[in-house]
Amino acid sequence: AQTVTQSQPEMSVQEAETVTLSCTYDTSESNYYLFWYKQPPSRQMILVIRQEAYKQQNATENRFSVNFQKAAKSFSLKISDSQLGDTAMYFCAFMKQTGANNLFFGTGTRLTVIP
C-alpha cells in the first residue's frame, strides 16, 4: 500500500519570503507520479506541480519548485516570493503509473501568508 505523510499541519510565511512544505511517501513501486495540489478557501482542488519519478530533474512552475529525493522518498514543495493568494491548504499526492491510477493523499498543510 502507498502512504503519504505531511508532518506539518500548519505553516506561515511572510509575504515575499520563501517557504518549504515537506512530504514523504512510502511505496514499493518504481514508476509513479507525485503531485502538489492547492486547495484555497473556495474548496477547488488545483494542481500546482507534478513530478514523474523517472525524471531526475526537479519540476518547476514559476514560483513553485520541488525537491524530489527518490531514494529518500521525499518530495518537498518550495514556494518563492510568497503571495497572499498562496494562502491555502496544500496536499501532497502519489499516483502509481500502472493500475487504477488512484491518487493517495497526505493529510495536508495549511499555509498562511502574512502581509
Nearer to another protein, 97 or 112 (CB): 97
Q: Does 10 bind another protein (CB under 8 A)?
A: no
Would you state the cell numbers that stand for residue 50, as one nine-digit string?
Answer: 507534478
**Cα 37 from Cα 96, distance rounded (Å):** 16
Which parts of 50-69 interact with another protein (CB under 8 A)?
50, 52
* Burial profile 46-85: b = 16 or more Cβ within 10 angstroms, e = fewer: eebbebebeeeeebeeeebbbebeeeebebbbbbeebeee
CB of 5 to another protein, least distance (A): 10
Nearer to another protein, 42 or 56 (CB): 42
**Interacting residue with another protein among 35, 36, 68, 75 (CB under 8 A):** 35
CB of 46 to another protein, least distance (A): 8
**Interacting residue with another protein among 8, 22, 29, 33 (CB under 8 A):** 33
Q: Does 106 bind another protein (CB under 8 A)?
A: yes
| 9 contact partners, CB below 8 Å, separation of at least 6 | 107, 108, 109, 110
